[in-house]
Structure 1
Amino acid sequence: MLISNAYAQTAGAADPTSGIVGLLPLVLMFVVMWFLMIRPQQKKAKEHRALLEALSKGDEIVTSGGIAGKVTQTGETYVKVEIADGVEVQVHKPAISSVLPKGTLKSV
């Protein structure tokens, strides 16, 4: 009376495309994430690597901490940056965020 009857479902023919259609939204979400997040991040990382490889003596740079100066010596992983007259600091290359146009820093 209080419990309804449970009937067995008939076994029908399985649809072969139901598995592919079920995965379609998941694949579509991955493609959208690739083009909106992963691809631009990889492109920016590639540009940053190229910027660091092209770094040379005399370039004016800004670090990720906001320190601006002129490169006086480059090494494999570190560069020496002159931030004031006679004041040089050693900076890890990945900490360099951008290269400024020549002549931007006139006081150094």
Structure 2
Amino acid sequence: MTLDLLAAAAGAAAAPPAWISFLPIIGMIAIFWFLIIRPQMRQQKEHREKVAQMKKGDQVVTAGGLVGKVVKVDDVYVELDLGPNVRVKAIKATIGDIILPGGTPAND
């Protein structure tokens, strides 16, 4: 009988606390946050800052792949010169990247 009581007491003492079962889930959320969400948020912030600093004369690439020179910048729109007698109006948020000066032009 004493062995049964000792075995029952040992079994009850060996049970882990309930919060330990949540540790793997919390760990996966932390890994997901630091490997996927946080870097993506940082990229979006850098892109917003870059687009906000866009000025006349910058060469840009749109999300659709068009390469042009900024002629006019508005709060919402950007007017781009794509070539001789070709001007388009694009939404500012669709600008994919600003090409640094000294880069190779798209048509050369």
TM-score by length of 2: 0.79
- 2:105 aligned partner, one-letter code: L
Match of 1:57 in 2: 56
- 1:95 aligned partner, one-letter code: T
Q: Which one has a larger percent helix, Structure 1 or Structure 2?
A: 2
Contact 1:69 1:105 in 2 (8 A): no
Report SS of the residue matched to 2:50.
helix
Deviation, structure 1 residue 102: 2.2
Match of 1:105 in 2: 105
Match of 1:83 in 2: 82
1:13-48 deviations in Å (ceiling 9; x for gaps): 688962210111111011000011100110000011
Match of 1:94 in 2: 93
| 2:30 corresponds to 1:28 | no
The sequence identity of aligned pairs, in percent, is 36
TM-score by length of 1: 0.79
How far apart are the structure 1 equivalents of 2:75 and 2:15? Answer: 57
How far apart are the structure 2 equivalents of 1:46 and 1:16? Answer: 46
Report SS of the residue matched to 1:58.
coil
